[in-house]
Amino acid sequence: MEQTLVIFKPSAIQRSLVGEVLSRFERKGLMIAGMKMMTLSPEILREHYAHLVNLPFFPNVEASMTATPVIVMCLRGVEAISVVRAMTGATNGRQAAPGTIRGDFSMSNQENIIHASASPEDAAAELKRFFAPGEIFDYTPAALSFTYDTSKLNS
């Protein structure tokens, strides 16, 4: 199974959307493998958004992402990275498809509720960045055989 990183941004926390969004992931069948609240340091933020650091709007992103602590989460499931990314929707909430998290809860490019890893390479690097060894847990959900095809469980 794959593991992916989700960050509940300050926009989710300030707008009291954490439960609603987390509930979508749970109902989908994704497992919570790790979860904690933390304040993002300038260093970790610059590393996480290295591809944006030199863009003119980065200071706004930095201020937005440090406005409150965030909640970081490791979600596990078959093809979890692409599934969570599809549930997240396009970056700009105004353009994100209805039914996606950003499409349903965001009106903004910047204040777009959650971050979700974009690829297997990103997910591996991001989970390592935000979780220490021992903070991600392995357990067998009781409903697993009612969540996946038998062939996926045995692969």
Residues annotated catalytic, as ranges: 115
Binding mask 123-142 for ligand ADP (x = CB under 6 A): --------------------
Q: How far is the CB of 110 from ligand ADP (least distance, A)?
A: 4
- Residue 14 binds to ligand ADP (criterion: CB under 6 A): no
Give the residue among 111, 148, 23 at the shortest CA–CA distance from 73.
23
Q: Distance between CA 139 and CA 142 in Å, rounded?
A: 9
Tokens standing for residue 56? 């003119």
- Residue 52 as a binder of ligand ADP (CB under 6 A): the answer is yes
User: How many CA atoms within 13 Å lie on the side-chain side of 123?
Assistant: 23
Q: Put residue 6 in one of left, alpha, beta given phi > 0 → left and psi -120 to 50 → alpha.
A: beta
CB atoms within 10 A of CB 64: 17
Minimum CB separation of residue 76 from ligand ADP in Å reads 20
Q: Locate 20 and state its tokens.
A: 């609603």
- Between residues 76 and 102, which has the closer beta carbon with respect to ligand ADP? 102
Q: Which member of 57, 107, 144, 153 binds ligand ADP (CB under 6 A)?
A: 57
Footprint of ligand ADP on this chain (CB under 6 A)?
49, 52, 57, 60-61, 91, 109-110, 112, 115, 118
